[in-house]
Structure 1
Amino acid sequence: MKLNKALVLKGAADPADHLVRDVSLPALVIHRDPLEHNIRWMQDFVSRSGAQLAPHGKTSMCPALFRRQLEQGAWGMTLASAVQTCTAYAGGVRRVLMANQLVGRANMALIADLQQDVTFEFHCMVDHPDNVQALGAFFAERGQRLNVMIEYGVVGGRCGCRTEQQVLDLAAAIRAQPALALTGIEGYEGVIHGDQAVSGIRAFAASLVRLALELQQDGAFALDKPIITASGSAWYDLIAEGFEAEAASGRFLSILRPGSYVVHDHGIYKDAQCCVLDRRSDLHEGLRPALEVWAHVQSLPEPGFAVIALGKRDVAYDAGLPMPLKRYREGVLPAVGDDVSACTVTAVMDQHAFMTIAAGTELKVGDIISFGTSHPCLTFDKWRTGCLVDEQLNVVESLEIVF
């Protein structure tokens, strides 16, 4: 018996399939037009800011999306681990910022193997002398030189040197390791919260540039134009403005690293984008949500209550529960959706979602509902393939996702 691919690999589809009629659900769905809009929009924004774009690939871990981002003009890709870097390399990426520390000999060996390809450019972060010493010894053994960047953090945040003096001391430790080359400085502003977050982020961007200048004046960098980089998916406009205000692009290669913009969302990044548009009156159009999860109404066990055939195995729930968008019914081609946004998902289990049915909404078992999500990173990592669809909901490409 030959099994249909959609039955073998969750959410898989062929380009000849129609999303409503032919795809086994639940499925991860990416709408082509907003996807392409988002890639162009962010590339244009970063370019006009005098910076370069290295999108964070951990959002999707989808090589086909990496290629689209690079083809649109991205400088390279940002990844979070040695294994992710290997995946990106296998997908054709040849310039990587690993916005994390490279720790452990096995992980170091993965990068050393990739560096045998002279076309591959790699930079990772360091924030402690122990890591500097370990990297220096390992790559000296391999007869290679590793590009490292100092990570500068904030108290109570994630990784990174906590004081400017620690940054300067670490630069001296790197200089003592012939197998290491200091190529820049990096920070992440997304851990700055509170009522004064905007002013705190602006101050953080200015301090990054100030530290970079001091290191440059001390001759610490191995590049004539070192890298200075920050920015997640919520505050990229403030980092771009901060770098511009300090004229960083004239002395440094300024790199922004948002990742979730590629598909955007219906939750936390939608809210963040509204704040960006409020801060920037010159931006007349923002990002568009491109990612949804589609699933069937599985059961209607009680009046006003539906059980949906998706759950924690299928969709992110860390930053808000999935949001019902539209209803579709098989046999209606092209599919015409009814608004079910007044319905509410109240809980998710491993394979089930509980949904309260809004007054006046009629559902049948077997109906298909599209759901918006919040925090796309933790939806992507539940899938091995996604369906790229056109406006008529025809599957135009099956997208491999590699976590």
Structure 2
Amino acid sequence: MFTRERAGMRPDEYVDWRSKGFWWPEGTVDGATLAAGGHHLFDGTFTWPVLTARGTAITRNIRTLAEFCRRHGLEFAPHGKTTMAPTLLDAQLRAGAWAITVATANQALVCRRLGIPRVLLANQLLDPTALRWLAGEAERGFELLLQVDSVAGARAAADALAAAGGTRPLRVLVELGFPGGRTGCRDTAALVEVARAVAAAERIELAGVTGYEGGLPGVDEVEGYLDGFVAATRELSAEGLLPAEVLVSAGGSAYFDVVARRLAGQWLPGHTLRTVLRSGAYVTHDEGFYREHTPFRRIPGEGSLDAALELWAQVLSTPEPGLAIAGLGKRDVSYDEGLPVPLRLRRADGTTVPAGGLRVTRLNDHHAYLAVPPDAPDAPGPGDLVCFGISHPCTAFDKWRAIPVLADDDTVSDVLHLYF
């Protein structure tokens, strides 16, 4: 399913005694060899807890968003910070992604070392050391787009270019935010001021306008923000600050339908627009936050996404009626956008039954408290395995060094190695 075409097998992509969830007490094995060995989730290759990824679900999700972007005339720069898994970044690029988005200078460095040709850094970068490095890499052909939302940000980039030497410019996007939001200029006047600072700086080119709507509470607020985004972009055009081809970018995983509706197309007279979507969590989706917030609930005719991540943990204790303790916790699973969701139980004899109303009520570092209904038809017992869905994949991936990819029959088809 997944191949390592871009940079080949890297020397740190192996499984050994340091790989949580894998039971490999002696020696090392690379992911390809492990996958070729016919190993199974329940044959002793793994211990608990272990986070797994369903390969068919990931493949469908990547194809679904690629097709959505093509239908709506969008370029796609999926946010790599969700997974930081080279195999998945390669798969997204092979499916037609225009670039990979990152959040930090370290993530940009990872992408450069992986051979990814174009990166969008979706934050203002002020660290002079990292900026000088990026300037040097741009001189060697690395295509990178930075965001700025202040005159200080434009000045920091210009100073780094001057210190690094060379002749190749850095391309930047000015960012429009909203009151109470994360980053970005709070109004059009501030955006124009930053764009003017970019225009006045040596070796910095204004490529376009960017924003992020994900912190807004609903569709109406997102539509209002994006309408303001369009108006602000038109104001920059009227001021003569935009190039012939303008890049506009937005889009998390909760409102990409609204971004397509408001930002796609050629709505800026005198310029060619390239609209770039940056969704990231879609690649594995989830059983919690994004199950409820995916745009495909509003536009079911456009497709659907499948939850790909499953965390398997063992029931350690049933110390009192109505309570079971499973061996997973905050060290293993995301909990910032909802607790894990019990999906099914696997008995010692291999039979599988639905989770029967089990509910996680709280997590410790290594323990999950499961409320067991008194009328549960299949109450868990010590030693049973529980399969959990997760909520918010972005804070699940970073807790693991390697994740086995499973085929539909629970055999290992690959191993994802993570670069956090």
Contact 2:256/2:279, CA 8 A, preserved across alignment: yes
CA contact (8 A) 1:263 1:289 kept: yes
Partner Cα separation in structure 2 for residue 241 and residue 337 of structure 1: 43
* Superposed CA offset, 1:197-217 (max 9, x none): 322211222222232233234
Deviation at 1:18, TM superposition (A): 0.8
Q: Following superposition of structure 1 onto structure 2, how do residues 3-402 of structure 1 map, counting pairs within 5 Å?
A: 5=15, 7-12=17-22, 14-15=34-35, 16=37, 17-21=39-43, 22-118=45-141, 120-144=142-166, 145-193=169-217, 197-221=218-242, 223-244=243-264, 247=267, 251-273=272-294, 276-280=295-299, 282-283=301-302, 285-329=303-347, 332=350, 336-358=351-373, 359-402=376-419
* Deviation digits for residues 109-141 of structure 1 (CA, Å, limit 9, x no counterpart): 3423432431x2101110111121121111122
Which string of whole-angstrom CA distances, capped at 9 and with x for unpartnered residues, describes residues 85-132 of structure 1? Answer: 1112222311111110111112213423432431x2101110111121
Residues in 1 aligned to 2:115 and 2:152: alpha-carbon distance in whole angstroms: 32
For residues 341 and 45 of structure 1, the distance between their equivalents in structure 2, rounded to whole angstroms, comes to 36
Shift of 1:390: 0.3
> Partner letter of residue 42 of structure 2?
V
Cα distance in 1, alignment partners of residues 15 and 160 from structure 2: 44
Query: In structure 2, what is the Cα distance between the partners aligned to 1:8 and 1:280?
Result: 43
CA contact (8 A) 1:20 1:329 kept: no
Which consecutive residues of structure 1, in runs of 5 or more, have no partner in the other structure?
A: none
Deviations 1:229-251 (A, max 9, x none): 00111001001100137636972
* Code of the aligned partner of 2:19: L
Q: CA deviation at 1:278?
A: 4.5
Q: 1:390 to 1:9 in 2, by over 3 A?
A: same
- CA separation in 2, counterparts of 1:254 and 1:19? 42
Partner SS state of residue 189, structure 1: coil
Residues 300-329 of structure 1 show CA distances to partners (whole Å, capped at 9, x for unaligned) of: 222332111110000011111111111224
CA spacing shift, 1:6–1:353, aligned 2, 3 Å: farther
> Residue type matched to 2:195 in 1?
A
Shift of 1:289: 0.6
Query: What letter is aligned with 1:167?
Result: L
Cα distance in 2 for residues equivalent to 1:178 and 1:305: 65
Instruction: Please report how far the alpha carbon of residue 152 of structure 1 lies from its aligned counterpart in structure 2 after TM superposition.
Output: 0.3
Q: 8 Å contact 1:34–1:289 — kept in the other structure?
A: yes
Distance across 2 between alignment mates of 1:69 and 1:341: 36
| Distance (Å, rounded) in 2 between the aligned partners of 1:103 and 1:142 | 15
2-structure distance, mates of 1:54, 1:73: 9
> TM-score, with normalisation over the residues of structure 1?
0.91
Kept after mapping to 2: 8 A contact 1:57/1:66: yes
SS at 2:47 equivalent: coil
Please state whether the residue corresponding to 2:20 is helix, strand or coil.
coil
Instruction: Return the letter of the residue paired with 1:323.
Output: V
Give yes or no for contact 2:73–2:264 (8 Å, CA) kept in 1.
yes
Offset of 1:186 from its aligned partner? 0.3
Higher relative contact order (CA 8 A, sep 6+): 1
One-letter amino acid of the counterpart of residue 253, structure 2: S
8 Å Cα contact 1:43/1:73 also seen in 2: yes
Q: Is the 8 A contact 1:248 1:254 kept in 2?
A: no
Q: CA deviation at 1:25?
A: 2.0
8 Å contact from structure 1 (residues 83, 110) kept in 2: no
Distance 1:330 1:395 in 2: 21
Partner of residue 27, structure 2? none
Q: What amino acid maps onto 2:301 in structure 1?
A: D
Calculate the TM-score normalised by the size of structure 2: 0.88
Q: Distance in 2 between matches of 1:165 and 1:8?
A: 52
Unaligned runs of 5+ residues in structure 2 are: 1-13, 23-30
Q: From the superposition, tell whether residues 238 and 173 of structure 1 become closer, same or farther in structure 2 (CA, over 3 Å).
A: same
Q: 1:330 to 1:74 in 2, by over 3 A?
A: farther
State how far apart, in whole Å, the 2-side matches of 1:94 and 1:20 are: 39
Looking at structure 2, the residues matched to 199 and 364 of structure 1 have their Cα atoms a distance apart, in angstroms, of 47
One-letter amino acid matched to 2:332: D
Paired AA for residue 138 in structure 1: A
**Preserved contact between residue 312 and residue 386 of structure 2 (Cα < 8 Å):** yes
User: Are 1:297 and 1:308, in contact at CA under 8 Å, matched by a contact in 2?
Assistant: yes
How far apart, in 2, do the equivalents of 1:267 and 1:290 lie? 12
Q: How much has 1:5 moved relative to structure 2? A: 4.3
RMSD, aligned α-carbons: 2.0
Identity of aligned residues (%): 35
CA-to-partner distance for each residue in 1:239-269, whole Å, 9 max, x for gaps? 1100137636972110011100000001110
